């Protein structure tokens, strides 16, 4: 079998390390399942992104939906990142970390009045509006608070991001944003909207995008709109390019962030406005693993199964997107044959799998496996299905690690059901 060794995860003397710590040591201390993240992977990726766009005025807003653990958010904001939030809960998380509201932006196709109110009360840098009705509601709520809300309009550029249909968001058929005609019409209403200041234009065309062309095509459409608005006397402060930069999970040929910048810079330089980016996955996916333990090996008819102690409730991506994640032993053993097996969890569904027909070294009861590339959209999509407790999260920094979220206790499962009927 092949082993995947993204930066900060590597084998030394047959042991998988996260930074300078053998994963087996963490496993023996805290058990499984657990998410293990490399802090320095996160930091390096952020710096690389930031550096790639140094020629223009830009701000990175870490899309914390990809991993909203407080310590992960703090890792990014400590080195200068802003935060993109998609709900009241994510906003409260960013505020709890102590992020300056002027470094927080809010997304969401279906914000409630409460969410809009909180965003305005806290003076967020901007709210991204996705419909005419929402813009009127923001104006109304801002008026009732005697404030002016800073608003960007999310445009749906009708561009094919060439990604999984569930995470493609910039096509005409998708629910997100408004078309360019509507955006123009709405921007032109500025003078009637006394409690809104339109500050920008926003897009997010999808996630796990592995070609630069869709970004360039969408950016072209948005810059034409910006120029058109300029000629109307409407000057925007920023263009928000959204997130979506893909990561390598298997053998996809992704683009380097430098190439992304080189493709976009000629266009962005002309706009003379601050450019925002909202990366999530790119900064963290390959900086995390899900640690799991082999429970059983079994054979059904002629098929091999390895049953592990984590399940679709811990990492949903393989079940819902048929997403590929490398799975490899935490400790490599000599003389183990490779087998072909489905790697599955204990949940009562056949959709509960991490890999199908996967070549993997024979692994025995009690041995640990690493499910790779699990830093993004792992823990935030975890649930309590089958009344399973959600896993612990660990952040490794050099030779040390910290538990940044403890494994749920059984009390967690009962605390909001205090009384029996």
Of the pair 152, 307, the CB lying nearest ligand LLP is at: 152
Which is nearest to 296 in space by CA: 341, 334, 358? 341
Do 380 and 67 contact (CB within 8 A), yes or no? yes
CA distance 369 to 292: 5
Minimum distance of ligand LLP from residue 281's CB (angstroms): 3
Minimum distance of ligand LLP from residue 41's CB (angstroms): 15
Among 45, 204, 293, 388, binds ligand LLP (CB under 6 A): 204
Of the pair 1, 210, the CB lying nearest ligand LLP is at: 210
The footprint of ligand LLP on residues 370-389 (CB under 6 A) is 376-377
The footprint of ligand LLP on residues 213-252 (CB under 6 A) is 242-245
Give how far Cα 83 sits from Cα of 46, 220, 269, 296, 414, Å.
Answer: 13, 25, 24, 42, 32
- Torsion angle defined by CA atoms of residues 399, 404, 408 and 412, in that order, rounded to the nearest 10 degrees: 160
CA distance 225 to 221: 6
Of the pair 163, 195, the CB lying nearest ligand LLP is at: 163
Of the pair 314, 367, the CB lying nearest ligand LLP is at: 314
What are the catalytic residues?
348
Minimum distance of ligand LLP from residue 21's CB (angstroms): 26
CA distance 93 to 106: 13
Of the pair 167, 332, the CB lying nearest ligand LLP is at: 167
**Phi-psi map region of 272: left, alpha, beta (phi>0 left; psi -120 to 50 alpha):** left
Minimum distance of ligand LLP from residue 420's CB (angstroms): 36
Do 11 and 330 contact (CB within 8 A), yes or no? no
Residue 280 near ligand LLP by CB under 6 A: yes
Residue 87 near ligand LLP by CB under 6 A: no
Token pair of 372, please? Answer: 């790779």
Residue 278 near ligand LLP by CB under 6 A: yes
The two beta strands, 58-63 and 82-85, are parallel
Dihedral sign from CA coordinates of 401, 404, 410, 413: negative
Token pair of 246, please? Answer: 């893909």
What DSSP character marks residue 20? T
Residue 40 near ligand LLP by CB under 6 A: no
Ordered DSSP codes for 274-331: EEEE--SHHHHGGGEEEEEEEEEEEEETTEEEEEES--TTT--HHHHH-----EEESB
Residue 111 near ligand LLP by CB under 6 A: no
Among 81, 207, 292, 363, binds ligand LLP (CB under 6 A): 207
Which stretch, 16-24, 280-288, 304-312, 327-335, contacts ligand LLP (CB under 6 A)?
280-288
Which stretch, 8-16, 137-145, 202-210, 395-403, contacts ligand LLP (CB under 6 A)?
202-210
Instruction: Please report which helix (H) or strand (E) contains residue 355, including its range.
Output: strand 353-361
Residue 82 near ligand LLP by CB under 6 A: no
Residue 208 near ligand LLP by CB under 6 A: yes
**67 CB-side CA count, 13 A:** 35
Of the pair 140, 274, the CB lying nearest ligand LLP is at: 274
Among 93, 150, 281, 293, binds ligand LLP (CB under 6 A): 281
Site size toward ligand LLP (CB under 6 A) is: 22
Minimum distance of ligand LLP from residue 293's CB (angstroms): 23
Quick one: three-class SS letters along 368-388?
Answer: EEEECCCCCCCHHHCCCHHHC
Which stretch, 38-46, 88-96, 276-284, 363-371, contacts ligand LLP (CB under 6 A)?
276-284
The footprint of ligand LLP on residues 299-328 (CB under 6 A) is 317, 321
CA distance 372 to 325: 6
User: Which residues are near ligand LLP by CB under 6 A?
Assistant: 63, 65-66, 84, 107, 167, 204, 207-208, 242-245, 278-282, 317, 321, 376-377
């Amino acid at each position: 079998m092949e082993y995947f060794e993204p930066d900060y995860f590597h084998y030394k003397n047959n042991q998988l390390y996260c930074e300078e710590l053998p994963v087996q040591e963490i496993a023996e201390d805290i058990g499984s399942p657990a998410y293990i993240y490399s802090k320095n992977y996160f930091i390096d990726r952020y710096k690389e992104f930031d550096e790639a766009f140094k020629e223009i005025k830009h701000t990175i807003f870490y899309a914390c939906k990809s991993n909203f653990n407080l310590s992960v958010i703090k890792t990014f904001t400590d080195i200068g990142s802003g935060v993109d939030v998609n709900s009241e809960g994510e906003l409260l998380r960013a505020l709890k970390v102590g992020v300056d509201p002027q470094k927080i932006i809010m997304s969401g196709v279906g914000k409630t009045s409460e969410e809009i109110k909180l965003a305005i009360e806290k003076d967020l840098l901007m709210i991204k509006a996705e419909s005419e009705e929402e813009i009127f509601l923001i104006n109304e709520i801002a008026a009732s608070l005697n404030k002016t809300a800073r608003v960007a309009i999310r445009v749906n550029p009708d561009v094919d991001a060439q990604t999984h249909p569930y995470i493609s968001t910039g096509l005409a058929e998708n629910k997100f944003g408004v078309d360019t005609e509507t955006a123009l019409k709405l921007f032109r209403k500025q003078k009637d909207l006394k409690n809104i200041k339109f500050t920008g234009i926003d897009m997010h065309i999808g996630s796990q995008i592995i070609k630069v062309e869709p970004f360039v095509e969408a950016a072209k459409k948005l810059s034409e709109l910006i120029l058109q608005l300029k000629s109307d006397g409407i000057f925007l402060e920023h263009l928000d390019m959204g997130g979506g930069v893909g990561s390598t999970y298997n053998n996809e040929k992704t683009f380097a962030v430098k190439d992304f910048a080189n493709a976009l810079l000629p266009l962005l330089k002309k706009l003379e406005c601050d450019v925002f980016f909202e990366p999530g996955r790119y900064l963290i996916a390959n900086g995390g693993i899900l640690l799991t333990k082999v429970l059983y090996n079994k054979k059904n008819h002629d098929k091999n199964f390895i049953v592990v102690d984590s399940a679709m409730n811990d990492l949903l991506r393989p079940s819902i997107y048929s997403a590929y994640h490398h799975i490899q032993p935490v400790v490599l053993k000599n003389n183990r044959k490779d087998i072909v097996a489905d790697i599955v969890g204990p949940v009562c569904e056949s959709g509960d799998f991490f890999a199908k027909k996967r070549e993997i070294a024979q692994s025995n009861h009690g041995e640990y496996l690493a499910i790779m590339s699990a830093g993004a959209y792992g823990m935030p999509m975890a649930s309590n299905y089958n009344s399973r407790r959600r896993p612990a999260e660990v952040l490794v920094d050099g030779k040390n690690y910290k538990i940044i979220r403890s494994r749920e206790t059984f009390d967690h499962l009962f605390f909001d059901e205090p009384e029996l009927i």
